Every structure is written in C-alpha cells, then in structure tokens.
C-alpha cells in the first residue's frame, strides 16, 4: 500500500519536476557553464572577478546595501507584525491593508514616486525650503540613501509577512504563565516571546537579504554611478559588452552567496532546531 501511495505521489509530482528541470535547471546550468567553458575550460572569468578591485568593491557594496536594507526592514517590520498579530480587529485590518496595498503596486510606479518625493524639486525639498528649514535642496536622490529607502519600501512586506505568520501561532498562555511567575513585560518579551519569534526573524532576514542581492530596478533608477550593484554589472556585461562568460561568472558568485546564506539559515535558525533547542 505504501509503495502504491508513493507511486501516486510521484505521478502527481512528475510533471512539475519535469517542467522545473527543463525550463529552469537546464537553462540555468547551460548559462552558468559559460563561466567555465569559453569555449574551453578556463578560470579566467573568476580570476577577473576576484582580482580586479572594481568588481570586489561592487560586490561589497551589494552586500552592505542588502544588509542595511535587511536591518531596517527588521527594525520596522517587527513592531508592525506584532501589531498585526495582537492588535484589535480594526487595527489589524488597517495595518494589513497598509502593508499589502504597496505590495500589489508595480515596482516602477513605486520608484518613480520616490523620485518625485526625493528630487531636488521634489515634494520633500520644496516643503523644507518653504518652511525655512533649509536654504537649498538636500541631495536625497541618486545616492545610497535613496537606494536604501527604495529597497526598504519594496522589501518591507517580505519581512512583515513571515514575522506575522509566526507571531500569530505563539500561544498567549505562555505570556500569561510568565506573568503569573512574576516576570514583568520586558522580561516576558525577551525571555519568552522573542525566542519564539526567531523562526520568523530568520525567515524574514533570509528572504529580504537574498532578494536584495539581486536588485536591479531600484539602484538603476534611484542610484548614481557610485551606487551600482552587482545585478547591474551582470546586465551590462551580457547586454552591452556581450561577455556572456564573465556575466555568467558574476551570476555564479551571486548564486553561491545565496545558497551559502540558505545553508547557514538551515544550520542555525531553522524552526526545528530552535524549537528542539539544538
């Protein structure tokens, strides 16, 4: 009976697996292989990536901006998710709407909106000058500040939703038990609630950081030449320089970083290890 159930399971799974292999894994493998065979086996593309300072600087900048985005999203998203999980029905509905409506808006629309807000003649600068707080426009566009704001705005729902899904499943009885044992609100949060929300923190951090590594539209629209990120260089090498081998090498480096981050999450912050105390 178990063998029959296994065969039925595989029969249902086979079309999806076949589609994934043919439409994703095979093309991805063919593309990434160009970093090693151009046309013969060579490590020149990787040597170029790791020995030229400009590419290491861009990789480091990509990691720093992604880390800043993740940290800001966590600092903003944790209390928002807490309110969504434990607020009144009316508050929960309002906050959920505020989180999801931008989530459904096209990224180009959002980035152009930020350009209108942060530009030299944008809403914010005009407001500051009209109120006398500044005499000249503050440079808030085409720099790392604008890139970080745009990325945080886009990625915030990806942090809030995993946190919310975990927080809604934390039993209120545990908080009540801690209070009955004499723990104050701060101690209850730090010793009971925060550890139980770690799977949501881990999932949100992983999701936001990995997605931020591959950002293209936001730094292209809101950043300047000094804010170029790795995805922009990959696009430049493939479309403008037509150097598929080097573009594939940079893509492989980005993929390896992503897989390594997921492996670290699975090793230290997976829900099973946290709940089992391992």
- The β-bridge partners of 41 are 37
Rounded to 10 degrees, the C-alpha dihedral 36/42/45/48 comes to: 150
Q: What was the pLDDT predicted at 269?
A: 63
Whether the predicted pLDDT of 142 surpasses 80: yes
Instruction: Report residue 64 as tokens.
Output: 């720093």
Q: Which of the following CATH numbers is that of domain 52-276: 1.20.1260.10, 1.20.1250.20, 3.40.50.1370, 1.10.3720.10?
A: 1.10.3720.10
Whether the predicted pLDDT of 235 surpasses 70: yes
pTM, full prediction: 0.87
Query: What is the CB-side half-sphere exposure of residue 270 using CA atoms within 13 A?
Result: 10
Q: How far is CA 163 from CA 77, 208, 254, in A?
A: 8, 12, 26
Whether the predicted pLDDT of 34 surpasses 80: yes
Calculate the CA 155 to chain-centre distance. Answer: 6
* Residue boundaries of the structural domains of the chain: 52-276
Helix axis angle for 144-167 and 198-213, nearest 10°, is 150
Q: What was the pLDDT predicted at 274?
A: 47
Q: What was the pLDDT predicted at 272?
A: 54
Question: Which is more confident, 65 or 273?
Answer: 65
151-196 pLDDT tens trace? 999 999 999 999 999 999 998 888 888 888 888 888 999 899 998 9
Whether the predicted pLDDT of 278 surpasses 50: no
85-120 pLDDT tens trace? 988 889 889 998 888 887 788 888 999 999 999 988
């Amino acid at each position: 009976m178990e063998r029959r159930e296994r065969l039925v399971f595989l029969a249902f799974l086979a079309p999806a697996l076949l589609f994934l292999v043919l439409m994703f894994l095979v093309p991805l493998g063919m593309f990434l292989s160009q970093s090693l065979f151009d046309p013969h086996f060579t490590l020149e593309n990787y040597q170029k990536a790791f020995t030229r300072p400009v590419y290491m600087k861009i990789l480091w900048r990509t990691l720093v901006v992604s880390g800043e985005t993740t940290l800001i999203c966590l600092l903003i998203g944790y209390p928002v998710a807490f309110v969504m999980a434990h607020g009144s029905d009316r508050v929960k509905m309002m906050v959920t709407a505020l989180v999801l409506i931008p989530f459904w808006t096209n990224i180009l629309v959002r980035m152009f909106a930020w350009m209108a807000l942060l530009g030299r003649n944008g809403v914010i600068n005009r407001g500051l000058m009209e109120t006398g707080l500044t005499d000249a426009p503050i440079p808030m566009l085409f720099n790392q500040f604008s890139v970080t704001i745009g990325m945080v705005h886009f990625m915030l729902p990806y942090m809030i939703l995993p946190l919310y899904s975990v927080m809604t499943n934390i039993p209120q009885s545990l908080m009540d038990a801690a209070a009955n044992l004499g723990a104050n609100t701060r101690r209850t949060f730090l010793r009971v609630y925060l550890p139980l929300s770690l799977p949501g923190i881990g999932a949100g951090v992983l999701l936001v950081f990995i997605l931020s590594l591959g950002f293209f539209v936001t730094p292209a629209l809101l950043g300047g030449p000094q804010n170029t990120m790795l995805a922009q260089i990959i696009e430049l090498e493939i479309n403008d320089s037509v150097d598929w081998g080097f573009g594939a090498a940079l893509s492989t480096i980005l993929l390896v970083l992503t897989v390594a981050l997921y492996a670290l999450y699975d090793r230290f912050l997976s829900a099973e290890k946290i709940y089992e105390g391992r």
